[in-house]
Amino acid sequence: MADSTPLLKVRNLRVAYPIRSSVLMRHIGDNVAVSDVSFDLHQGETVGLVGESGSGKSTIARTIIGLVKASDGSIEFEGKDIARASWRQLKSIRREMQMVFQDPYASLNPRLTVRDIIAEAWRVHPGVVPRGAWTSEAKALMDRVGLNPDYSDRYPHQFSGGQRQRIGIARALALRPKLIVCDEAVSALDVSVQAQVLNLLEDLQADLDLSYLFISHDLSVIEHLCDRVLVLNRGVVVEQGTVDQLFDNPQDDYTKRLLAAVPVVRPWLEPT
């Protein structure tokens, strides 16, 4: 895997939000959210971004998906530079990258049925699924993510949190992407349901050869799901490596502190 070209190649990424003066809105400085971030993500791999609030992990995700403009550096998806792509090119690149959001309540349009939520992507990207097959294809996707396909005419509020997150995943799968960016995708779920969704993500990855960029503040989830991990602190990658390297033998002080703070379920079993 290491010698193949990466699916996603991020080099020296810098994202700064401008600070403007209150009166004339003149650019008076920058709030640097992310600086000098570089990593590769290969097909079929899961890379985790972990860090506390304000560490820049969501900014990286949003920049990759094209919701935020990079100030410097490059993001290449299958060799194409996203930052320099035209609008048309960007549209076709975006088909290959989808996102699953944290809040399964806020990220689904409450006025659309599940079928329409899933089919919306096909409206935007004609040619993926012919219109006549939308309903059957949406039902197949629902079945794939563990939802009863008979409920395709229901609205989001008729589903539980875990089921809604499955709808979000089905929507992300609709365009048959290669990369799914999961921004705190299981953080709002109860533990028992979270485990179901994590298993689903793993199954989908095995079946569809998906790649995940998985963002979480929860180190135990990262440890469970990811192949490689980047630890972010104040917009800078302080350490990156395989899960084994990072969790068994952390080098950076911040990583060590972060790992030490993770609550242990059975503290009495820990060596003191």
Is residue 251 involved in binding another protein (CB under 8 A)? no
Residue 61 engages another protein in binding (rule: CB under 8 A)? no
Name the one residue in this structure whose structure tokens are 């990658």.
237
One-letter amino acid for residue 214 of the chain: F
Q: Which positions from 128 through 167 interact with another protein, judged by CB under 8 A? A: 160-163
* Nearest alpha carbon to residue 71 among 79, 80, 58, 59: 59
Other Cβ atoms within 10 Å of 77 Cβ, number = 23
In angstroms, the CA 205 to CA 244 distance is 20
Residues whose CB is less than 8 angstroms from the CB of residue 208 and which lie 6 or more positions away in sequence, other chains included: 173, 176
**Nearest 10 degrees: Cα torsion 136, 142, 143, 146:** 180
Which among 269, 238, 98, 76 has a CA at the least distance from the CA of 181? 98
Q: Is 264 in the site for another protein (CB under 8 A)?
A: yes
Residue placing its CB nearer to another protein in the complex, 6 or 162: 162
- Structural contact between residues 170 and 143, judged by C-beta atoms closer than 8 angstroms: no
Contact 37, 10 (CB under 8 A): yes
Least Å distance, CB 204 to another protein, is 14
Is 168 a binder of another protein (CB under 8 A)?
Answer: no
CB of 1 to another protein, least distance (A): 16
188-217 binders of another protein (CB under 8 A): 190-196, 198-199, 202, 217
Smallest separation (angstroms) from another protein to the CB of 172: 20
Kindly tell me which of 175 and 186 has the beta carbon lying closer to another protein: 186
Point out which span in 88-96, 99-107, 125-133, 184-192 binds another protein (CB under 8 A).
Answer: 184-192
Q: Does 263 bind another protein (CB under 8 A)?
A: yes
Q: How many CB atoms lie within 10 A of CB 74?
A: 15
Residues 220-249 as x/- pattern, contact with another protein by CB under 8 A: xx-xxx-----------------xx--x--
Instruction: List interacting residues with another protein (CB under 8 A).
Output: 52-53, 160-163, 190-196, 198-199, 202, 217, 219-221, 223-225, 243-244, 247, 257-258, 261-268
